[in-house]
Amino acid sequence: MGIFSKKFTIVVACKANITRSAYLHSYMEHYLKNHMPYARKKVRILSAGVEARNGNSAHQVVQH
């Protein structure tokens, strides 16, 4: 059994989910798409903030 034999979720968390976790979430999605496309359907990546507020979006620097 390989690491990608079952579906799993990765949660990237930081304080407000505005910069750090949003950036890493996007980077991980990009990496999987370009370097491990066979794993993309098995891995779900989420980002969250432990003190995030509803309605706030990621900082414009990390939006794509």
Is the pTM higher than 0.85? The answer reads no
- Listed by start position, the domains of the chain span 8-49
Tens of pLDDT, residue by residue over 28-57, are: 999 999 999 988 889 999 988 887 666 666
Tokens of 36: 């491990």
> What is the rounded CA–CA span in Å between residue 19 and residue 38?
28
> How many degrees, rounded to 5, is the angle at CA 39 between CA 4 and CA 24?
110
How many CB atoms sit inside 10 A of residue 24's CB?
17
pLDDT value, residue 45: 94
H/E stretch holding 24 reads helix 20-35
pLDDT value, residue 30: 93
pLDDT value, residue 22: 83
